[in-house]
Amino acid sequence: MTKQLLNTIQFKEPLPNIIDYWNLFNTTGWNVEYNFTTADLEKAIKNSWYSLSVFNSEKLIGFGRVIADGIHHALIVDLIVHPDYQGKGIGSMLLDRLVKKCEENKIRDIQLFAASDKYEFYEKHNFEKRPPNAPGMQYKTRQLTRRSS
């Protein structure tokens, strides 16, 4: 990361403006499948145990959140860095801060979902792939009809 960028980014705990988050979320391509509305996303992030936003000046360029029970299990979700800012270390700093928050609260089991092309990034941060015979399953969702925003 350049020193100039490092001097202009800020990490903030309050939830971002929902329109700013909506715009950032839609850079991922995830909403093609999920078809969330702004109201859906606002409800989701408000129900997080912990969230952290990254700003460059006043522009939202990153976001991550944790869903947790506060003691035993935590799931890191929605780790997003705007494409214009990827590869600059922002995702690493964001992930490190989310993990640190879990560790400070002595959460014993920190998990996340990752696309196979992102495994290497997470392995650099002490996450490991679960073996093929490891316990765990994912619910296969039915197509839901969503309202438009």
Q: Which of 21, 50, 85, 122 is catalytic?
A: 122
| Residue 60, both tokens | 């939202």
Contact 90, 62 (CB under 8 A): yes
Q: What does the radius of gyration of the chain's CA atoms come to, in whole angstroms?
A: 16
C-alpha 137/C-alpha 147 separation (Å) is: 28
Known catalytic residue: 122? Answer: yes
Contact 62, 10 (CB under 8 A): no
- Complete DSSP assignment for 41-61: HHHHHHT-SEEEEEEETTEEE
Whose structure tokens read 């869903």? 67
Q: Which residues are catalytic?
A: 122
